[in-house]
Chains A and B, each alone.
Chain A
């Protein structure tokens, strides 16, 4: 049952905000602002460095939550949130982890749907939160039946 997974966390994984990865990501969403990609522009900016686009944390490794078995098909991404304390700086290390925040089942037009909310958070080298994000995935009754959960 996904209910039993609430509160489970992964171990923190060190991720580096790599210059090349930021450039490639910015290009893939057509958002190549010099603050993201031009080193000297970053140096002269109020941040003193280049920064990463707000949805860049999609690229990080958040580790594995033991005992949480999500199917890789049949999930619907329902909702996504990001909360930032400050921008991510190119070149810095962030320590990322995942946590199961909540699970609820609701009856809807297409049957009973499960709503699983996962947090993906990043902490800097001083232990300060840089960003918190949550993704809510919708798991239909049919998919759950196949998983025996």
Chain B
């Protein structure tokens, strides 16, 4: 397994490909987050808003993206997450999450992070800063 303590610039964490986005995923996220904007769960509301169909909450995708760092929760702290929402995620889209080291020193590792779709479109793009404990 990749080790965040020794990972070098240009190397990546294990990427994660999510199962195709389902309506129940978004209903669960609506309930857990309290974001009940109906464009995320109800077809008629999405089309009334001019969308081709319901779209995932941007924060659902960002929440998933932070999973890349879950194996390293006890070795340090992600002090900063910065994300731009670049493209919409629709039902049945297959999202892949990735993080690549941009630069690092002994204590701080800066990652380029992102989520991309099966067709190559970018859903999210940004940066994360990971501070190792006790280094």
Contacts and interface: CB of A to CB of B under 8 A. Distances in A.
Nearest to B61: A29
Contacts, number: 92
Interface residues of A, number: 32
Contacts of B133: 46
A52 to B, nearest CB: 11
Size class of the contact patch on chain B? 20 to 34
A89 to B, nearest CB: 13
Interface stretch (B3-11, B71-79, B102-110): B71-79
Contact of B66 (A55, A59, A77, A85): A55
A33 interface: yes
Given A25-B33, A46-B133, A58-B59, A81 B70 contact: no
Given A54-B78, A81-B80, A87-B77, A24 B31 contact: yes
B33 to A, nearest CB: 5
10 contacts: A28-B63, A29-B60, A29-B67, A31-B63, A51-B73, A54-B66, A58-B34, A78-B84, A80-B62, A84-B78
